[in-house]
Amino acid sequence: MAEMDINDAVVTTRLDAVVNWGRKNSLWPLPFGTACCAIEFMSMMASKYDMSRFGAEAMRFSPRQSDMMLVLGTVTNKMAPVLRTIYAQMAEPKWVISVGVCASSGGIYRTYATLQGVDRVIPVDVYVPGCPPRPESMIYGVMKLQEKISKESLSMRKEHIARFYESLARQEAIQAEQGRTGQQAVRDMLMAAAERGAGTIF
Protein backbone atom coordinates (compact mmCIF):
# COMPACT_ATOMS: atom_id res chain seq x y z
CA MET A 1 0.00 0.00 0.00
CA ALA A 2 2.79 2.46 0.83
CA GLU A 3 6.07 2.21 -1.06
CA MET A 4 9.30 4.08 -0.50
CA ASP A 5 11.03 5.84 -3.45
CA ILE A 6 14.62 5.60 -2.32
CA ASN A 7 15.91 8.51 -4.35
CA ASP A 8 13.52 11.23 -3.22
CA ALA A 9 12.25 9.86 0.09
CA VAL A 10 8.69 10.37 -1.09
CA VAL A 11 5.96 8.08 0.12
CA THR A 12 3.15 7.20 -2.27
CA THR A 13 -0.06 5.82 -0.95
CA ARG A 14 -3.84 6.09 -1.24
CA LEU A 15 -5.71 9.20 -0.12
CA ASP A 16 -8.00 7.17 2.11
CA ALA A 17 -5.06 5.72 4.01
CA VAL A 18 -3.43 9.07 4.67
CA VAL A 19 -6.61 10.77 5.79
CA ASN A 20 -7.61 7.87 8.01
CA TRP A 21 -4.10 7.76 9.47
CA GLY A 22 -4.38 11.44 10.38
CA ARG A 23 -7.85 11.03 11.84
CA LYS A 24 -7.18 7.98 13.95
CA ASN A 25 -4.03 9.35 15.55
CA SER A 26 -5.55 12.63 16.61
CA LEU A 27 -8.89 11.73 18.08
CA TRP A 28 -10.02 14.47 20.40
CA PRO A 29 -12.33 12.97 22.99
CA LEU A 30 -15.48 14.55 24.31
CA PRO A 31 -15.92 12.89 27.69
CA PHE A 32 -19.67 12.70 28.21
CA GLY A 33 -19.12 11.66 31.81
CA THR A 34 -22.12 10.87 33.92
CA ALA A 35 -21.11 8.33 36.54
CA CYS A 36 -18.41 5.95 37.77
CA CYS A 37 -16.81 5.28 34.40
CA ALA A 38 -15.84 8.95 34.34
CA ILE A 39 -13.62 8.30 37.37
CA GLU A 40 -11.83 5.49 35.53
CA PHE A 41 -11.56 7.88 32.58
CA MET A 42 -9.83 10.35 34.88
CA SER A 43 -7.41 7.57 35.82
CA MET A 44 -6.85 6.86 32.16
CA MET A 45 -5.98 10.49 31.53
CA ALA A 46 -3.63 10.64 34.51
CA SER A 47 0.00 9.65 34.33
CA LYS A 48 -0.20 5.91 34.95
CA TYR A 49 -2.32 4.91 31.95
CA ASP A 50 -1.58 8.01 29.90
CA MET A 51 -3.98 8.48 27.01
CA SER A 52 -1.87 11.11 25.30
CA ARG A 53 0.27 8.37 23.76
CA PHE A 54 -2.62 7.88 21.36
CA GLY A 55 -2.94 11.50 20.44
CA ALA A 56 -6.16 11.74 22.44
CA GLU A 57 -4.97 13.96 25.22
CA ALA A 58 -6.79 17.09 24.13
CA MET A 59 -10.07 16.66 25.94
CA ARG A 60 -12.54 19.17 24.65
CA PHE A 61 -15.78 19.51 26.49
CA SER A 62 -17.38 21.36 23.65
CA PRO A 63 -18.94 19.11 21.01
CA ARG A 64 -17.96 21.56 18.29
CA GLN A 65 -14.28 20.98 18.96
CA SER A 66 -14.09 17.21 19.31
CA ASP A 67 -14.59 14.17 17.15
CA MET A 68 -14.83 11.20 19.49
CA MET A 69 -17.54 11.06 22.12
CA LEU A 70 -16.92 8.74 25.04
CA VAL A 71 -20.19 8.01 26.82
CA LEU A 72 -18.95 7.31 30.33
CA GLY A 73 -21.55 6.06 32.74
CA THR A 74 -25.27 5.48 33.02
CA VAL A 75 -27.46 7.50 30.70
CA THR A 76 -30.89 7.85 32.25
CA ASN A 77 -34.12 8.60 30.44
CA LYS A 78 -33.87 12.17 31.74
CA MET A 79 -30.44 12.55 30.16
CA ALA A 80 -31.26 10.93 26.79
CA PRO A 81 -32.39 14.04 24.87
CA VAL A 82 -29.35 15.91 26.19
CA LEU A 83 -27.11 13.18 24.81
CA ARG A 84 -28.82 13.46 21.43
CA THR A 85 -28.40 17.23 21.37
CA ILE A 86 -24.70 16.99 22.19
CA TYR A 87 -24.15 14.30 19.55
CA ALA A 88 -25.99 16.39 16.97
CA GLN A 89 -23.74 19.36 17.65
CA MET A 90 -20.57 17.44 16.84
CA ALA A 91 -19.17 17.98 13.36
CA GLU A 92 -18.55 15.01 11.10
CA PRO A 93 -16.49 12.82 11.03
CA LYS A 94 -17.50 11.73 14.49
CA TRP A 95 -17.42 8.47 16.40
CA VAL A 96 -18.92 7.24 19.64
CA ILE A 97 -17.42 4.81 22.12
CA SER A 98 -19.89 3.56 24.68
CA VAL A 99 -17.83 2.86 27.78
CA GLY A 100 -19.12 0.55 30.46
CA VAL A 101 -22.12 -1.72 30.61
CA CYS A 102 -24.52 1.02 31.69
CA ALA A 103 -23.93 2.95 28.48
CA SER A 104 -23.83 -0.17 26.33
CA SER A 105 -26.94 -1.91 27.61
CA GLY A 106 -28.32 -0.34 30.75
CA GLY A 107 -25.99 -2.30 33.01
CA ILE A 108 -27.37 -3.54 36.31
CA TYR A 109 -30.14 -0.92 36.22
CA ARG A 110 -33.12 -2.55 34.59
CA THR A 111 -35.48 0.12 35.85
CA TYR A 112 -38.00 2.74 34.79
CA ALA A 113 -35.41 5.48 34.88
CA THR A 114 -32.44 4.08 32.94
CA LEU A 115 -32.00 4.04 29.19
CA GLN A 116 -31.21 0.46 28.24
CA GLY A 117 -28.15 1.27 26.16
CA VAL A 118 -27.24 4.51 24.38
CA ASP A 119 -27.31 2.73 21.03
CA ARG A 120 -31.07 3.05 21.26
CA VAL A 121 -30.82 6.79 20.69
CA ILE A 122 -27.45 7.51 19.05
CA PRO A 123 -25.23 5.49 16.70
CA VAL A 124 -22.34 3.76 18.52
CA ASP A 125 -19.09 2.51 16.99
CA VAL A 126 -17.30 0.63 19.76
CA TYR A 127 -18.64 -0.91 22.98
CA VAL A 128 -16.34 -1.37 25.94
CA PRO A 129 -17.78 -3.72 28.57
CA GLY A 130 -16.93 -3.59 32.24
CA CYS A 131 -18.29 -2.09 35.41
CA PRO A 132 -16.21 -0.02 35.33
CA PRO A 133 -13.82 -1.15 32.61
CA ARG A 134 -10.17 -0.96 33.62
CA PRO A 135 -8.25 1.89 31.97
CA GLU A 136 -6.47 -0.72 29.85
CA SER A 137 -9.85 -1.86 28.49
CA MET A 138 -10.77 1.68 27.60
CA ILE A 139 -7.46 2.17 25.82
CA TYR A 140 -8.11 -1.09 23.96
CA GLY A 141 -11.48 0.30 22.97
CA VAL A 142 -9.82 3.38 21.50
CA MET A 143 -7.36 1.16 19.66
CA LYS A 144 -10.26 -0.84 18.20
CA LEU A 145 -11.80 2.41 17.06
CA GLN A 146 -8.52 3.32 15.41
CA GLU A 147 -8.60 0.00 13.54
CA LYS A 148 -12.15 0.71 12.45
CA ILE A 149 -11.25 4.19 11.24
CA SER A 150 -8.31 2.93 9.22
CA LYS A 151 -10.72 0.80 7.16
CA GLU A 152 -13.17 3.59 6.39
CA SER A 153 -13.83 5.04 3.01
CA LEU A 154 -13.92 8.79 2.48
CA SER A 155 -16.55 8.95 -0.19
CA MET A 156 -19.53 7.50 1.60
CA ARG A 157 -21.35 9.56 4.25
CA LYS A 158 -22.41 7.26 6.98
CA GLU A 159 -25.99 6.23 6.58
CA HIS A 160 -26.71 5.86 10.26
CA ILE A 161 -25.65 9.44 10.97
CA ALA A 162 -28.10 10.64 8.33
CA ARG A 163 -30.87 8.56 9.92
CA PHE A 164 -29.95 10.02 13.31
CA TYR A 165 -30.53 13.57 12.05
CA GLU A 166 -33.88 12.53 10.62
CA SER A 167 -34.89 11.07 13.98
CA LEU A 168 -33.81 14.27 15.70
CA ALA A 169 -36.06 16.26 13.39
CA ARG A 170 -38.94 13.89 14.21
CA GLN A 171 -38.27 14.31 17.93
CA GLU A 172 -38.37 18.09 17.65
CA ALA A 173 -41.59 17.88 15.68
CA ILE A 174 -43.20 15.80 18.45
CA GLN A 175 -42.02 18.28 21.06
CA ALA A 176 -43.37 21.26 19.14
CA GLU A 177 -46.72 19.79 18.15
CA GLN A 178 -47.66 18.04 21.36
CA GLY A 179 -45.90 20.29 23.85
CA ARG A 180 -43.95 17.41 25.38
CA THR A 181 -40.55 17.60 26.98
CA GLY A 182 -37.58 16.01 25.22
CA GLN A 183 -37.63 13.07 27.62
CA GLN A 184 -41.27 12.23 26.92
CA ALA A 185 -40.74 12.60 23.16
CA VAL A 186 -37.82 10.16 23.25
CA ARG A 187 -39.91 7.74 25.36
CA ASP A 188 -42.77 7.89 22.85
CA MET A 189 -40.35 7.21 20.01
CA LEU A 190 -38.87 4.25 21.95
CA MET A 191 -42.36 2.78 22.49
CA ALA A 192 -43.11 3.18 18.78
CA ALA A 193 -39.80 1.53 17.89
CA ALA A 194 -40.55 -1.42 20.18
CA GLU A 195 -43.95 -1.89 18.60
CA ARG A 196 -42.51 -2.17 15.12
CA GLY A 197 -39.77 -4.47 16.40
CA ALA A 198 -36.84 -2.10 15.94
CA GLY A 199 -34.17 -1.73 18.61
CA THR A 200 -33.38 1.95 18.06
CA ILE A 201 -35.26 5.12 17.31
CA PHE A 202 -33.20 6.17 14.28
Positions that interact with another protein (CB under 8 A): 32-36, 38-40, 42-43, 46-48, 61, 73-74, 76-79, 82-83, 86, 106, 108-114, 116-117, 120, 131-132, 134, 180-181, 183-184, 190-191, 194-195, 199
Helix (H), strand (E) counts: the chain: 7, 6
Taking the complex as a whole, how short is the minimal distance between the CB of residue 25 and another protein, in angstroms? 24
Decide: 31 and 70 in contact? Cβ < 8 Å: yes
Nearer to another protein, 48 or 151 (CB): 48
Taking the complex as a whole, how short is the minimal distance between the CB of residue 46 and another protein, in angstroms? 4
Rg of the chain taking only CA atoms, in angstroms:
19
User: Could you tell me the CA-to-CA distances from 80 to 83, 141, 176, 188 in Å, in that order?
Assistant: 5, 23, 18, 13
Nearer to another protein, 99 or 149 (CB): 99
Taking the complex as a whole, how short is the minimal distance between the CB of residue 30 and another protein, in angstroms? 9
Question: Residue 25 and residue 147: Cα distance in Å, rounded?
Answer: 11
Q: Give yes or no for a cis peptide into 133 (omega within 30° of 0).
A: no
Taking the complex as a whole, how short is the minimal distance between the CB of residue 6 and another protein, in angstroms? 45
Taking the complex as a whole, how short is the minimal distance between the CB of residue 131 and another protein, in angstroms? 6
CA angle 65–51–25, rounded 5-degree value: 60
The sign of the dihedral angle between the CA atoms of 95, 105, 180, 164 is positive
Nearer to another protein, 79 or 145 (CB): 79
Taking the complex as a whole, how short is the minimal distance between the CB of residue 151 and another protein, in angstroms? 30
Nearer to another protein, 61 or 165 (CB): 61
Nearer to another protein, 13 or 178 (CB): 178
Nearer to another protein, 96 or 149 (CB): 96
Buried b (16+ CB within 10 A) or exposed e, 106-118: bbeeeeeebbbbb
Q: HSE of 174 in the Cβ direction (CA atoms, 13 Å)?
A: 19
